[in-house]
Structure 1
Amino acid sequence: MTAAILKGAGAILLLVILVFAAWFFRPWAPYSPFDIIWNRETGDRVDLYRRMEEMFPHRIVEGAENAEPLRRAIKAINETYDWNGQEKTIDQYAAESDTTALMVVKDGRVVFERYYQGEEAESRHTSWSVAKSYVATLVGMALMDGTISSLDDPVSKYVPAFEGTDYGSTSLRHLLMMSSGIDFIEDYETRGSDMRKLFFDVFIMNADVDAFVKPYRRNRPAGTDLDYLSPNSHVLSMVLREAYGKPLAQIASEKIFKPLGMADGTWLIDRNAADGKEIGYCCLQTRAEDYARFGQLYLQDGMWRGERLLPVGWTDMVSVPPTEVHEAGSTHHGERGYGLHFWIPEDPAGEYFANGYNGQSVFIDPVNDVVVVKTGADMGQIARRSETTAVLRALARAVQ
């Protein structure tokens, strides 16, 4: 009797193991938890960040039919910078920081262009949170074309399903300010944080990303602090999807990619299905040159080839701290300040930038009329923040 029980228990255990292994490896599916977890945890993320669209469900962001490259005027520049009294080279920094691309655009022309670690001009590299600035840009465009009537509107005006929730009563402005007051722990590396749960549920379990963020509650008044939360950006992307009645990738294609002459990109979605929703806080894949076009749009005050794409005053508004607690040196984000979905560097001289996890940057310097783009897989990004700012500034000034 005991032997039969043990045999039956063993068979059940074996079945459980086989079922789990099938789920984990999914040999029949294009995406598997094993690939995601293995590439995320092995430590070398350079290749992963070029292959995100191969490993996760995504939607194409259609670019211009005849996308033309930006004009090149490559020139020799001083490739050194000072860091803590030491003269270092740009290539030395690139090697230390797992940088994969650096591009400098001056007066609308590419004047410096360099790729590392197998990256190429046509490589599509993940944006991580640089995508947040794209979402904010689409909000500005929706404001200009009347699809959104006011930044002070509550989310529920555009997303009826969020009526009665704390996110539903939050204004678009407070979301752009990262001042929602929502109780959420934005920690990418600590197990058990809300951000890790979001990553696991959406990327591994293919959970509905809208449903994940909906229940979160406020634990302090909105508009009173700076608390950088990815769900804030995702909720803004929901507003855009509902307001336009189409997927975020299509909106980005029509409003940004095609008008700016970009090539095709991709945007990761929460599950491999026709009704999959773009992950609005990250996960756009595009080329370094097309990140540069995005920065150039801001450098040109929202104008592109004589057409206004962003409201008058928008670039000034997003690049200025909206309150004292958003100013550089006044936040728990250290030396950096924050505008409306754009960061402001320490000791700002008019610069501002889109920034993504592990070292993605679109650095906009209106004073010098320069855009600097950096992509990479820098797991030491936080400790290297000030040095990265020094490098981006050195490149911006070296091309004068």
Structure 2
Amino acid sequence: DMMRGFLAGVAALALAGCSTTAMQAPEPAAIVTQSMPETMASMDPSDSILFWSDERRSAAFRDMEGLFPGLEVAQTGPVRALPRGTALASGAQAALRAFMAETDAAGLMVLRDGRVVFEDYALGFGPEGRWTSFSVAKSFTSTLLGAAIADGAIESVDQPVVEILPALAGTAYDGVTVGQIATMTSGVAWNEDYTDPNSDVAKMLAVAPVAGESQAITYARTLTREAPAGEKWVYKTLETNLLGLIVEEATGRSLADYAGEKIARPAGFAGNLFWMQDLTGGNIGGCCLSLRLSDYARFGQFVLEGGEGVVPQDWFAQATAPSVPFENAPGFGYGYQWWTYPGAYGAQGIFGQAITLVPEENLVVAVVSNWPTATSNANRNAFRALIARLAADQPSRE
């Protein structure tokens, strides 16, 4: 139909645009191909994936490329080995498996000192399958922001966003910096209610495409300011979509292509990466990256080790510090698209996706799930309790 033709056209243009830039790169860029489903899922907010049945979601989460357009990044570099470490004690293993059963987890992997000390799967999922990220993708987009700063494509987090996205001039984002978007402190009003089909988060990807303009920009035009820039934190997925667009405009490359070079290859991913596109052909910075469970864990290990040669030297120290401390929850806060916890930090997404890092214990825990509801304080608290148990269980190291 007309929409599919339009989408195919803009996607082809986006690919053509990034392939030229890629050929000029000093290293061979990732191999990126357009992925287009035979029958595209509806973008109607009332039929959003947020409101699907458990069974429909479970099938979708492992096959987003079968439902939505996106870019597929081939595995092109050496795979980082994840050797087996000393297995966890039987009590800890039982606790992890009970958590998986109670929270509808499809896979859970624990790395200590870069070694696998626990790995298990459920819901018919397995080591070579891919599972979608939801907002875990935000921490990938943040890392690509760091890479773009290291490459000199973006001056710093203090650069005004309208210098990179001039289309935002005159909108609620005029006067906002890249860093304020990264920390979600733009002061722009937003509704991120995953249970409401009329919320901004449910409607943003359904806004009618405007030729030559990203959907993120089109939706941003409808928003208003509720606080001065830098003063109020509100969680807004659109801002990560804008952050992804900032990276794409500054580098001249798609997020998927840039992630292939800056994350997948240096982190040693074992499988391909899929990153969903919006209706105007741009990768969705705030969502919908699909990876193997082991590659979520590899990304965590890459971050834990500092991302040397990809991001500025102190990038992760800054990005994972609580730029926004939560006053009612000591030790908790938000950084550059990373959640901060007491003694730890991580990426998290709705329906139970997470990567949590405990630097002092050199611990990485990655989980993918299909919770019955988008959010669950009980499940998040149970996961944090597991992390605390793993951190306290300190085996003797060589």
Question: For this structure pair, what is the TM-score category when the shorter chain's length is used for normalisation?
Answer: 0.7 to 0.9
Does structure 1 residue 43 correspond to structure 2 residue 38? no
Alpha carbons of structure 1 residues 277 and 202: separation in structure 2 relative to 1, 3 Å: farther
Secondary structure of the 2:295 match is helix
Aligned to 2:310: 309
Deviates more, 1:102-111 or 1:176-185: 102-111
Are the aligned partners of 1:328 and 1:338 in contact in 2 as well (CA < 8 Å)?
no
Does structure 1 residue 282 correspond to structure 2 residue 287? yes
Alignment root-mean-square deviation, CA:
2.6
AA aligned opposite 2:334:
Y
CA–CA separation in structure 2 for the residues paired with 1:80 and 1:385: 21
Moved over 6 A (4+): none
Does structure 1 residue 395 correspond to structure 2 residue 390? yes
The Cα shift of 1:33 comes to 2.3
The Cα shift of 1:137 comes to 0.5
How many correspondences in the alignment?
349
Aligned to 2:366: 373
Aligned to 1:299: 304
CA–CA separation in structure 2 for the residues paired with 1:162 and 1:35: 26
Aligned pairs for 1:167-186 (under 5 A) are 167-186=173-192
AA aligned opposite 2:274:
T
Does structure 1 residue 355 correspond to structure 2 residue 348? yes
Does structure 1 residue 104 correspond to structure 2 residue 97? no
Are the aligned partners of 1:152 and 1:172 in contact in 2 as well (CA < 8 Å)?
yes
Give percent identity, aligned residues only: 33
Alpha carbons of structure 1 residues 197 and 34: separation in structure 2 relative to 1, 3 Å: closer
Secondary structure of the 2:54 match is coil
Structure 2: runs of 5 or more not aligned: 1-36
Alpha carbons of structure 1 residues 52 and 179: separation in structure 2 relative to 1, 3 Å: same
Aligned pairs for 1:114-193 (under 5 A) are 114-193=120-199
Write out per-residue CA displacement over residues 210-248 of structure 1, whole angstroms, 9 at most, x where no aligned residue.
322333221111111221110111111111111011211
The Cα shift of 1:327 comes to 5.5
CA–CA separation in structure 2 for the residues paired with 1:118 and 1:218: 45
Are the aligned partners of 1:32 and 1:55 in contact in 2 as well (CA < 8 Å)?
yes
Aligned to 2:20: none
Does structure 1 residue 221 correspond to structure 2 residue 223? no
Aligned to 1:75: 86
Deviates more, 1:278-287 or 1:55-64: 55-64
Question: TM-score when scaled to structure 1?
Answer: 0.80
Alpha carbons of structure 1 residues 91 and 188: separation in structure 2 relative to 1, 3 Å: same
AA aligned opposite 1:188:
Y
Alpha carbons of structure 1 residues 202 and 261: separation in structure 2 relative to 1, 3 Å: farther
AA aligned opposite 2:153:
T
Does structure 1 residue 250 correspond to structure 2 residue 257? yes
Structure 1: runs of 5 or more not aligned: 1-27, 82-86
CA–CA separation in structure 2 for the residues paired with 1:292 and 1:343: 17
The Cα shift of 1:170 comes to 1.2
Of residues 193, 198, 202, the one that matches 1:196 is 202
